[in-house]
C-alpha cells in the first residue's frame, strides 16, 4: 500500500471550529460530516484505498467555492477536489485532515452556441451530458473516457482524460477553450473563452491534467464538433500479438487514421466474449477493432483499404460490419470489457502505461512472462493507435498478499513502459497510485521544475497534496521577482 501523509494534529483538533466556519459559507445542508455519510466519499475508482475526510462540502456556485478556499487557506486546511469520484489513480482519495470540495451540485449547462461551436458548462456536468445536450443537432463533445456516463468535465480537466477516439479527435487539452478557476487564495479567474488562441501563458494547457493541484475548476468552455455522417467498425483477428502489432503499424503507415483502433489479447477476447456474446473469435491470439467515419461510400472505400492491409498479415478472421447494428455488436464486447473482467476475477488493477507502438510485441511478451512469474493473470486491452496500454491485472483484494503482488506487478509493467521510451500514464493520471514511480520517468530536476510550478499556484501545498509528487522532497518556495 502507498503511504498517505500523517494528518495535521492541529487541524484534527480544530475540526468542530472548522466545520462551524465553513457552514455559513455554503449553508449547513451543503456540509457533510456524519461518519456514515462520509463513507460514500472515502474512495474513488481506486477502490482498494479508503480514507474518510474531515468533511465534504458541496458548493453550488463559483463564489461559494471561492469562499471555502479562502477559509481553508487562512486556516491551513488541505482541500481535495472531487467530481464523480471515478478516478482510477486515487486522484480524489481524501485525507483525514482535508475538506473534500465536491462539484456535483454544479451541474448546469450554461450556454450552447452552434454557430461558434462551443458550449460552456459547470464542472459537475458529466462528460456524456455535454454530448447529450448537443446531440439533437448532431454535435458531440469528442473526448470519451470509458467512464463518460458518470465522470464529470471538471474531473476530465483535472486528468486530461482521453478515450477510444482521441487518436483522431485529441484529448481533453485539445478540446478546451476556456476555464473559470478558483485559486487557493479564493480568487476567481476567467481564462480563455470562445476563441482559439490564448494570449499570455498557456494557462489552459498547464491546468488541464494538473490533477486538482493548481486550482479548482468551476466552469469549462469546450469545443463541440459536428458528428460525421456515420461510423462503421471492422474486426480483424490474428495468430499472434506480434502480427497484430505489425498490422497496426502498417495501418498508420498507410496514411489512414481510423477514428478508433483498439487491441485485445487472447485473455481479454475470452473474458469479453463470455460476458457480452459479441461473437469474438476465440481461436485468435489477438484482435483489432477498427472504426472509420464518413458516408456509406467513404466507409466502403476506407474499409476496403483496411481490408487489403489486414489481409497482408494472414488474419485468422476478418469481419466487416455492414450496418450500424453490426458495428454496435463488434463494439459490445470491448465496451463491456471492464465489467467482463470483473466477472472472472473478484478484483483487478487497471494499468495505463503508454509505449511507442513499435515496442508492442516486446512489451506484450514481457507482460506475459511477468504474469507467469507473479502467478497473476492479466488481460490486455488498449488503444493501439496511440500505444496506450490497459493491462488488467487480476487479483483478490481479500488476500493482502495477492494485492501486494498485483501492485508490484503493475509497477513492473509501468517501469517497462518507461524503459522502452513510454510513460507511466496515458489518461488515468498519477494520483496516489503512481506517485512513487515518478522518479522512474523524471529526473530530480524535471520533478523540481514541476513542483515549483505547483508552488507558484499553491504556495502552501494545500490543494490535493500528497498526490503526483513523491513525499520525500519538501515543497520548494517560489518568490516572484
Distance CA 269, CA 287 (A): 8
The binding track of 20-59 with respect to other proteins, each residue x by CB under 8 A or -, is: ----------------------------------------
Taking CB under 8 A as the criterion, the residue among 180, 310, 434, 463 binding other proteins is: 434
Distance CA 188, CA 190 (A): 7
Taking CB under 8 A as the criterion, the residue among 154, 155, 209, 315 binding other proteins is: 209
Q: List b or e across 378-390, with b for residues whose CB sees 16 or more CB atoms inside 10 angstroms.
A: bbbbbbbbbbbbb
Taking CB under 8 A as the criterion, the residue among 9, 35, 200, 375 binding other proteins is: 200
Nine-digit cell string for 313: 498479415
Taking CB under 8 A as the criterion, the residue among 208, 218, 371, 464 binding other proteins is: 208
195 lies in the site for other proteins, by CB under 8 A:
yes
Half-sphere exposure (CA, 13 Å, Cβ side) for 55?
25
The residue among 393, 471, 473, 466 whose CA lies nearest residue 432 is 466
Taking CB under 8 A as the criterion, the residue among 171, 244, 286, 392 binding other proteins is: 171
Residue 473 CB coordination number (10 Å): 12
Q: Closest approach of Cβ 135 to other proteins, in Å?
A: 13
Residue 47 CB coordination number (10 Å): 12
- Sorted by sequence, the CB contacts under 8 Å of residue 197 that are 6+ apart come out as none
Taking CB under 8 A as the criterion, the residue among 70, 109, 332, 442 binding other proteins is: 442
- Eight-state DSSP code of residue 419: H
Q: Closest approach of Cβ 249 to other proteins, in Å?
A: 4
Q: What is the dihedral of CA 275, 276, 281, 283, to 10 degrees?
A: 10
Could you give the 3-state DSSP secondary structure of residue 356?
Answer: coil
Name which of residues 398 to 427 contact other proteins (CB under 8 A): 421-427
The residue among 20, 60, 227 whose CA lies nearest residue 144 is 227
Q: Closest approach of Cβ 299 to other proteins, in Å?
A: 10
Taking CB under 8 A as the criterion, the residue among 8, 15, 105, 117 binding other proteins is: 117
Q: Which is nearer to other proteins, 10 or 187 (CB)?
A: 187
Q: Closest approach of Cβ 116 to other proteins, in Å?
A: 5
Pairing of strands 78-82, 98-102: parallel
Q: Closest approach of Cβ 213 to other proteins, in Å?
A: 8
85 lies in the site for other proteins, by CB under 8 A:
no
115 lies in the site for other proteins, by CB under 8 A:
yes
Taking CB under 8 A as the criterion, the residue among 39, 226, 343, 365 binding other proteins is: 226
Name which of residues 248 to 277 contact other proteins (CB under 8 A): 249-250, 252-257
Taking CB under 8 A as the criterion, the residue among 146, 180, 240, 357 binding other proteins is: 357
Name which of residues 272 to 301 contact other proteins (CB under 8 A): 294-295, 297-298, 301
Distance CA 166, CA 181 (A): 25
Going through 141-239 in order, the beta strands assigned E by DSSP cover: 176-182, 188-192, 216-223, 225-226, 231-238
Q: Which is nearer to other proteins, 33 or 433 (CB)?
A: 433
Amino acid at each position: 500500500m502507498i503511504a498517505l501523509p500523517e494528518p495535521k494534529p492541529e487541524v484534527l483538533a480544530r475540526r468542530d471550529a472548522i466545520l462551524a466556519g465553513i457552514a455559513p459559507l455554503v449553508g449547513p445542508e451543503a456540509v457533510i460530516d456524519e461518519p456514515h455519510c462520509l463513507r460514500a466519499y472515502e474512495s474513488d475508482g481506486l477502490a482498494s484505498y479508503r480514507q474518510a475526510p474531515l468533511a465534504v462540502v458541496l458548493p453550488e456556485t463559483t463564489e461559494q467555492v471561492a469562499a471555502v478556499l479562502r477559509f481553508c487557506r487562512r486556516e491551513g486546511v488541505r482541500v481535495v477536489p472531487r467530481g464523480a469520484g471515478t478516478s482510477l489513480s486515487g486522484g480524489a482519495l481524501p485525507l483525514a485532515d482535508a475538506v473534500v470540495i465536491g462539484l456535483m451540485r454544479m451541474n448546469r449547462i450554461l450556454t450552447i452556441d452552434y454557430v461558434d461551436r462551443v458550449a460552456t458548462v459547470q464542472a459537475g456536468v458529466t462528460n456524456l451530458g455535454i454530448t447529450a445536450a448537443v446531440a439533437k443537432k448532431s454535435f458531440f463533445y469528442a473526448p470519451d473516457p470509458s467512464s463518460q456516463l458518470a465522470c464529470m468535465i471538471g474531473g476530465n480537466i483535472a486528468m486530461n482524460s482521453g478515450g477510444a477516439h482521441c487518436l483522431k479527435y485529441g484529448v481533453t487539452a485539445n478540446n478546451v477553450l476556456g476555464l473559470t478557476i478558483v485559486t487557493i487564495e479564493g480568487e476567481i479567474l476567467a481564462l480563455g473563452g470562445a476563441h482559439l488562441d490564448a494570449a499570455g501563458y498557456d494557462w489552459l494547457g498547464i491546468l488541464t491534467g494538473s490533477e486538482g493541484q493548481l486550482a479548482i475548476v468551476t466552469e469549462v468552455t469546450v469545443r463541440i464538433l459536428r458528428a460525421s455522417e456515420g461510423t462503421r467498425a471492422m474486426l480483424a483477428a490474428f495468430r499472434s500479438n506480434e502480427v497484430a502489432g505489425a498490422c497496426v503499424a502498417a495501418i498508420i503507415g498507410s496514411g489512414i487514421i481510423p477514428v478508433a483502433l483498439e487491441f485485445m489479447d487472447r485473455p481479454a477476447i475470452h473474458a469479453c466474449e463470455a460476458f457480452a456474446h459479441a461473437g469474438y473469435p476465440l481461436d485468435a491470439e489477438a484482435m483489432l477493432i477498427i472504426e472509420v467515419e464518413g458516408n456509406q461510400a467513404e466507409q466502403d472505400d476506407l474499409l476496403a483499404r483496411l481490408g487489403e492491409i489486414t489481409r497482408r498479415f494472414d488474419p485468422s478472421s476478418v469481419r466487416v460490419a455492414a450496418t450500424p447494428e453490426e458495428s454496435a455488436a463488434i463494439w459490445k464486447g470491448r465496451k463491456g470489457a471492464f465489467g467482463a473482467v470483473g466477472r472472472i476475477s473478484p478484483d483487478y488493477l487497471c494499468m495505463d502505461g503508454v509505449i511507442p507502438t513499435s515496442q508492442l510485441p516486446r512489451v506484450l511478451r514481457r507482460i506475459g512472462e511477468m504474469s507467469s512469474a507473479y502467478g497473476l493473470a492479466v488481460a490486455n486491452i488498449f488503444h493501439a493507435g496511440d500505444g496506450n496500454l490497459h493491462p488488467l491485472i487480476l487479483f483478490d483484494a481479500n488476500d493482502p498478499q495477492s494485492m501486494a503482488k498485483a501492485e508490484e506487478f503493475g509497477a513492473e509493467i509501468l517501469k517497462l513502459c518507461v524503459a522502452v521510451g513510454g510513460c507511466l500514464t496515458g489518461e488515468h493520471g498519477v494520483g496516489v497510485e503512481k506517485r512513487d514511480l515518478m522518479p522512474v520517468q523524471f529526473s530530480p530536476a524535471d520533478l523540481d521544475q514541476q513542483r515549483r510550478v505547483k508552488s507558484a499556484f499553491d504556495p502552501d501545498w494545500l490543494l490535493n497534496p500528497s498526490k503526483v509528487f513523491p513525499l520525500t522532497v519538501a515543497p520548494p518556495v517560489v518568490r516572484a521577482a
